Amino acid sequence: MATPTPTRPRRRGHDPESVLATAVGVFNERGYDGTSMEDLARALGVTKSAIYYHVPGKEQLLSRALDRALDGLFEMVADERACSGAAIERLEWVVRQSVRLLIDRLPYVTLLLRVRGNSGTEQAALARRREFDRFISGLVTEAAVEGSIRADVDPGLVTRLLFGSVNSITEWYQPARGASADDLADALLKMTFGGLRVDPAA
Amino acid sequence: MATPTPTRPRRRGHDPESVLATAVGVFNERGYDGTSMEDLARALGVTKSAIYYHVPGKEQLLSRALDRALDGLFEMVADERACSGAAIERLEWVVRQSVRLLIDRLPYVTLLLRVRGNSGTEQAALARRREFDRFISGLVTEAAVEGSIRADVDPGLVTRLLFGSVNSITEWYQPARGASADDLADALLKMTFGGLRVDPAA
DNA sequence: TTGTTTACCGAACATTCGGTCAGTTGACAA
DNA sequence: TTGTCAACTGACCGAATGTTCGGTAAACAA
């Protein structure tokens, strides 16, 4: 082996990974369409053209970022704990993992949740996201059939409201100041499953 | 009086109101930054320049749309039912009215919830929105102090998760197919206040 | 020293952007 | 018939967009 270190840091500079990380940050601040390559260049401390040395273009950056979020979601639903056992327990596990993933890959998931389908890249991402949503909706339906969650509200609606809460995390969570992923998941499950009201008999 | 009708519809065509309505629709489909004046013109069935006969420009369209949503929110919190009585009842009323307003002015509120602060207009809207959020957070705090909602979760967090559910309505509600505002509000209050789980003792 | 590779710059590209303006059209009043 | 005016067109502007390309400085290998 001629190279002493497998990844030789020969020269100081950027790489596709660091460009992506910075880009996603700026995309989330300004919005994808509101971000120019000039904005990205400024954030990276290089000129516009330097970006094209590392990545093929703006839309590829979006595509890679969205995949990073979506891959996480699908790894989750492929897990055994999402597929076997009581539906209510699977649902709780998936919600907890969703919160974890959301915080773990916050900028990537944030970007995903703002996609509107303006390009082929965005439409493909939306399609994968809908597939994930269908899985969750199935879980909620099973839990209702099972009798472990209330059946007087449509399962589709329950799914949307539940993940409305979960997904809202991207809009206000601050890694520095906020609670840990597990604390947040605890609070969220307490609220959504247990309800807000103190006296359930009222 | 020379004119027989106060508002004479002399000629067929657009007016500031119809342009705004169409514009907000396209903004929500494509995103504000992703929408060009050419896109708007196409949706209106006129040329780009015709738009400038009715409205001063793109950002004014955004500004007027955001005001329409924000004015609704502030009318709500100014109502007596939001300011007097038990905190829990005020909170329930505000949540119910929020759902109503969201559906009543769906495209305008949808646009508001996607604003990121890219311009002075957007930053001003965000500031007003934060003021509304502070009011809600105050209500939740009062309800917790009052002892009518659970106190084992931070009121700020409760507010965010609760309105995460409420605001998510803009992401999936379809006026044609969906339930009425009141039905939706009922379901949402049942879920958020009562909780998902069937057996609260478990 | 010489040559190669990595990481970048600066200038330019075609296209699209939001916006302007001098006209044109057609329904109406007189 | 003539004139008025709301509503619009089409040509155009300068600026900004994403992307390309020729060149180049620095680090390394020979």
For Cα atoms A140, A141, A142, give the angle at the middle one, nearest 5 degrees. 90
pTM of the model: 0.93
Count CB atoms within 10 A of the CB of residue A182.
12
Q: pLDDT tens-digit profile of B50-94?
A: 999 999 999 999 999 999 999 999 999 999 999 999 999 999 999
> What is the Cα–Cα distance from B105 to B97, expressed in whole angstroms?
12
Question: Average pLDDT for residues A70-99, to the nearest whole number?
Answer: 97
Mutation for testing the B interface, residue in A196, A197, A198 having most B CBs under 10 Å: A196
Residue A7 is predicted with a pLDDT of 35
Residue A24 is predicted with a pLDDT of 98
Q: Which two tokens stand for residue A146?
A: 């099972």
> What is the Cα–Cα distance from A134 to B134, expressed in whole angstroms?
35
SS3 A96: helix
* Chain A residues within an 8 Å CB radius of B154: 187
Backbone angles phi, psi at A149, to 5 degrees: -130, 160
Residue B173 reports pLDDT greater than 50: yes
Dihedral angle, C-alpha A109, A113, A118, A122, nearest 10 °: 40
Residue A201 is predicted with a pLDDT of 47
Q: Which two tokens stand for residue A178?
A: 């906020």
Residue B199 is predicted with a pLDDT of 61
Number of residues assigned to chain A:
202
Residue A10 reports pLDDT greater than 60: no
Nearest-CA distance A125 → chain B (Å): 15
Residue A197 is predicted with a pLDDT of 83
Question: Average pLDDT for residues A92-101, to the nearest whole number?
Answer: 98
Note whether B72 and B142 are within 8 A (CB): no
Å from B12 (CA) to C26 (C1')? 11
Note whether B102 and B166 are within 8 A (CB): yes
Number of residues assigned to chain B:
202
| Chain B, nearest residue to A191 by Cα | B195
Note whether A110 and A99 are within 8 A (CB): no
